[in-house]
Amino acid sequence: MIEYLLLLLGESIMIFGTLGILRFPDVYTRLHAATKCDTGGAMSILIALAIASEASLLIKLKFLVLAFLIALINPMVSHAIARGAYKYGIKPKVVVDMYAWDNP
């Protein structure tokens, strides 16, 4: 029962993340939507698979290790993309930009 709820949650998070990628104005706000796709969607689908699959306990633990690795790698990748885009010269559409005040 609970695995269907988790699968539904993951699917809906994927759909809203895609909607966010299509509708948000610039790179940085789109990165928010893309990373939420990854953490929320993929991790809840993996936890649902770990509950539903009829395998031994160590194989279920490997699903949890995969979810942990996604949670570990995802912030690093989003930070690298955001900082690389800023250093390349893409201006963010923001109300206040304190990073540009300190690095003119």
Partner 1 sequence: MSRIPFYLRERLDEIRQRILFETYEAQKLPKWEQVVLTWIALFSFWIVISGNTQSENLFIGGIATLVISLFMYEMLTEDIRQTGHIVEKILYISLFVIPQYLFIMAFRLIESNFKVAKHAILMDINPGIIKIKTDLHSDTGITILANSITLTPGTLTLDVDKKLGETYLYVHWIDVETLNREVAGEKIKGDIEAWLKKIFW
94 binds partner 1 (CB under 8 A): yes
**Smallest distance, Å, CB 39 to partner 1?**
6
Can you state the angle between helices 43-52 and 57-88, rounded to 10 degrees? Answer: 170
Structure tokens that stand for 77 in this block: 């990748």
Residue (1 or 103) nearer to partner 1, CB:
103
Residue (52 or 84) nearer to partner 1, CB:
84
7 binds partner 1 (CB under 8 A): no
**Contact at 8 Å (CB) between 23 and 68?**
no
Spatial distance between the Cα atoms of 21 and 72, rounded to a whole number of angstroms: 22
84 binds partner 1 (CB under 8 A): no
66 binds partner 1 (CB under 8 A): no
Residues 6+ apart with CB under 8 A from 48: 2, 3, 4, 6, 7, 10
Structure tokens that stand for 2 in this block: 């609970």
List of residues contacting partner 1 (CB under 8 A): 12-13, 16-17, 19-20, 23-25, 28-29, 31-33, 35-36, 39-40, 43, 58-59, 61-62, 65, 71-72, 74-76, 78-79, 82-83, 86, 92-100, 102
